[in-house]
Structure 1
Amino acid sequence: MVADLPLTTIPPSRPHTHTVIFLHDNRIFARDTVNQLHEATDLSWRSIIQNFASTRWVFPQAPTDEPLTPSVLGQPSWWRGDMTDGDEERRLRNMLPGLRERVRELQKVIRNEVVMLGGRWDRIILGGIGHGAGMALMALMSLEGDSLMDVDGNRPQRLGSFVGISGQIPVSDIRLSSTQQLFSPNRISPAENEVLKKTPLLLQYCSNGGEPYVEQGRTFREVVLESSVEDVVWKEYEDAFPFLNSPRGVEDMKGFFRDKMNMRPNW
C-alpha cells in the first residue's frame, strides 16, 4: 500500500477551479516553501499564491532523516545518495528504489487532487523548487501508462502545466543507461509519453547560483528537450537563487498560467 505523504495545504477562498502541487527543496520543510512563495511578490506586491484565490495549493512533505540528537528535526530529502561515489551508474541504481517510492506517493497526491477537480487533469499544476522540481519532473514522467491513475474511467491527460524553479535532478549525465531507468519507470520512453509531451513547462533559473548550478539547470532542460516535450519556456534572472525571482519571476509565472491555462488573477 502506498503511504500518504504529509501535506501542507492552502484552501481556495473562492470556488475551487485549479490545484497547484508544489514540492520543496531538500533540507527545508514544506511550510518553509509556503513562506518563500509569499515573500516573492509581483509588481503589485502580491505573491503568486495571493494572485489566484480559486486555486488550492498543496505542499507535500518529503520524509526526514533520523535526527542526530532527539532535540532537533531531521532533514527532509526527496532522494538520498552518496554524492562522493565516483561510479554514477551505481549511485543511481542505489537511489532507484527510494525514488520510485516517492513517485508512487506523489502519484497518489496527484490522483486525489484530480478527483477533487472532477477528473480535470488539465487544471492541475505540478512543480517545485530545487530537488523538489526534479522530483516533480520524475512524477510527471511516470504518469503515462500507470493503471493506478484512472479517475472514473479516464486515463491521464496532459496536466495544466509544470513549473520548475532552480530545478535539480539526480543525474549529471543524461546518457547513462541508469538515467533511462530513472525516467522510464513504466517502461515507456519519455519521448513516447503523451502526458509529458503535451504538458507545458516553465523552467526558471538565476545566474547568481554559480556555474555548477547553471549546469544542473541545463541538464534539467536537456532531459526535458530530449523527451520531446512540445512546449518549454526557459527564463533566466540575474538574482534570487535559489528562490523565486521577484518581481519578474512572479510576473512571468502569472503570464505562463494565463497563456497556457487561461488562468487570470482573481484576488
Structure 2
Amino acid sequence: MLPLFPPRHVYFPSSLSHTSTVILLHGRGSNGPELASELAESRTSSGRTLFEHFPSCRWVFPSARPRWSEEFCEELGEWFDPVLLEEEGRDQGSEQGQGQDRDRARRAGLKESVEHVLRVVEDEARRLDCAGDGDGHGDGDGKKKRRIILGGLSQGMAVALVAMLQLCCAQQEPEPEQKTKMRTRLGGFVGAMGWIPLAEKLQSLLDDGEQEKALGFFKSNFGISYPQHHQQQQQQQQQQETSRESKGKAPLRESENKDSSPFSTPIFLSHGEDDKWVDVSLGKTAHNVLIRLGFQNVSWKSYTGAEGDGHWLKEPEQLDDIVKFLEERFNEGS
C-alpha cells in the first residue's frame, strides 16, 4: 500500500497551450502551496513572477507528508528526518535490534518521498505527452517529456537530487533489467539552498573509483523502486517502434539523440553565501559530487543578501538566473 501524500498544488498555464512542466519541492517545515505562494510574491528584474515568464508552463508543487521530527519533537512537513538519515554514515547499528529499527526509520522517509516524486514525474510526463500541440495528438517522439524540469529548495533539493539519480540509473540499466526501464528523461534540474544526502558516503565511493556504486547507492541501499506503471509505458513504446518498423520507418531510439545520455541533463545549482540554515559549503559539495558522478553540464552560482537569513532566493538576481536557465531548456526542447 502506497503511503498517502497531500495533493499536489498546481499553477496551471495561463495560456491555452501546455508546453512544459516544472516540478518544485519545498523545504523542511513548509508545503507545496506555501512555496507556490512565496514564489508568486517574488519578482525578477522585469517585475514579473516566474509564472508570468512562462505562460504555457504547468507548475507543480508536491507536498511532503507530515512526519514526527526527532529534532523538534513535533510533526513537520518534511521529506525525511535529516538527523536520522545522516546517522547512516556514522552509526552501523552496534545494538542488533536497535540498529535494525533505526535503519528502517532512517530509510523510510527518503525512500517513500523519492518514490512519490518519481510517481509525480511520471504522471506529469504522461500529462504533458498527451497535451499534444493543440491538434489532439500526443508527442510521440518524446520531445515534450524532455521539457520537464525537476528541482527543489533546501531539503526539497536534496530529495529531488536523489530522484534525478534514480532516473539516471534507470536509463543506465542493462539487459535484462531494461524491460523495467523508465523512459522519462528530465529536461533539466534546478536546485537552491540545498545539499545532496549522505555526501560523505558518495565521496568515499568515488575516492575508491566506484562511480557506478556511487550512482546506484540510494537504489541499492534504500530499496527505492520505480512506479509500477512504467512497465506498461515501456510496452507501449515497444509497440510504437514495431509499428514504425513495419511502415519502413526507423525506430525511435534515445541513442539517436546526441544528448540522449542522462549525464547530459543540464543542472543549475545556486546558494546563498550567507545562508545561516544550510551552509553554502553543502551546496558546493553537491555540485562537486554531481560532476564526479559524471554529469557533464552542471553550473553553480552563489549570492549574498537574500531574505530569511540568506535561506531564500535572492531577488532579482537569482530569479533572473533561474529564468535564463529555464528559457534555455525549453528552447532546446522545441
TM-score (norm 2): 0.65
Distance of aligned partners of 1:24 and 1:84 in 2 relative to their CA distance in 1, 3 Å threshold: closer
CA–CA distance in structure 1, aligned partners of residues 277 and 11 of structure 2: 35
* Letter in structure 2 aligned against 1:105: H
Of 110, 115, 127 in structure 1, the residue corresponding to residue 126 of structure 2 is: 115
Alpha carbons of 1:97 and 1:181: their partners in 2 closer, same or farther (altered >3 Å)?
Answer: farther
1:105 counterpart residue number: 116
SS in structure 1 of the partner of residue 75 of structure 2: coil
Are residues 1:185 and 2:219 paired? yes
Given the alignment, which residue of 129, 133, 139 partners 2:163?
Answer: 139
| One-letter amino acid of the counterpart of residue 249, structure 1 | Q
Alignment of 1:53-92 (within 5 A): 53-66=55-68, 74-82=75-83, 88-90=89-91
Using the alignment, how far apart are the partners of 1:65 and 1:98 within structure 2?
8
Are 1:146 and 1:186, in contact at CA under 8 Å, matched by a contact in 2? no
2:305 pairs with one of 235, 239, 259: 239
1:16–1:129: structure 2 CA closer, same or farther, 3 Å change rule? same
Whole-angstrom CA distance in 2 between matches of 1:211 and 1:59: 22
SS of residue paired to 1:65 = strand
Whether contact under 8 Å (1:11, 1:55) holds in the other structure is: yes
CA displacement 1:149-207 (0-9 Å, x = unmatched)? xxxx9952531110001112332523346x948744169xxxxxx76412100101111
* 2:321 matched residue in structure 1: 252
Q: CA deviation at 1:44?
A: 1.5
Task: Kindly indicate whether residue 295 of structure 2 is the aligned counterpart of residue 229 of structure 1.
Answer: yes
- RMSD (Å), alpha carbons: 3.1
Tell me the equivalent position of 1:11: 12
Aligned residue in 2 for 1:159: 186
Q: Distance in 1 between matches of 2:54 and 2:62?
A: 20
How many Å separate the matches in 2 of 1:145 and 1:209? 32
Tell me the SS of whatever aligns to 1:9.
Answer: strand
Q: Between the two structures, name the one with larger relative contact order (CA 8 Å, sep ≥ 6).
A: 1
User: How far off is 1:50 after superposition?
Assistant: 1.8
SS of 1:224's equivalent in the other structure is: helix
Amino acid at match of 2:281: E
Residue in structure 2 matched with residue 127 of structure 1 by the alignment? 151
Q: Structure 1 residues 165, 145: CA separation in 2 closer, same or farther (over 3 Å shift)?
A: closer
Q: Distance in 2 between matches of 1:257 and 1:158?
A: 16
Amino acid at match of 1:159: L
Q: Is the 8 A contact 1:156 1:195 kept in 2?
A: no
| Matching of residue 207 in structure 1 with residue 262 in structure 2 | no
Per-residue CA deviation, residues 189-228 of structure 1 (Å, 9 max, x unaligned), is xxxxx76412100101111115961111122112211111
Given the alignment of the two structures, is residue 219 of structure 1 paired with residue 285 of structure 2, yes or no?
yes
**Quick one: which of 145, 158, 175 aligns to 2:203?**
175
Write the distance in 2 (CA, Å) between the matches of 1:32 and 1:57.
13
Q: 1:83 to 1:44 in 2, by over 3 A?
A: same
Aligned length: 247
- Tell me the secondary structure at the aligned position of residue 300 of structure 2: strand
Q: Partner of 2:151: helix, strand, or coil?
A: strand
Report the Cα distance in structure 1 between the residues aligned to 2:184 and 2:291, rounded to whole angstroms.
20
The one-letter code matched in structure 1 to 2:60 is V
Instruction: Quote the Cα distance in structure 2 between the aligned partners of 1:204 and 1:85.
Output: 22
* C-alpha contact (below 8 Å) 1:26/1:130 kept by paired residues: yes
| Residue of structure 1 equivalent to 2:330 | 261
| Aligned-partner residue type, residue 42 of structure 2 | A
Residues 1:200 and 1:84: Cα distance change in structure 2 (over 3 Å): closer
Say if 1:29 and 1:86 are closer, same or farther in 2 by CA, change over 3 A. closer
Gaps of 5+ in 2: 93-101, 130-141, 172-179, 206-212, 222-259
CA distance in 1, matches of 2:20, 2:280: 31
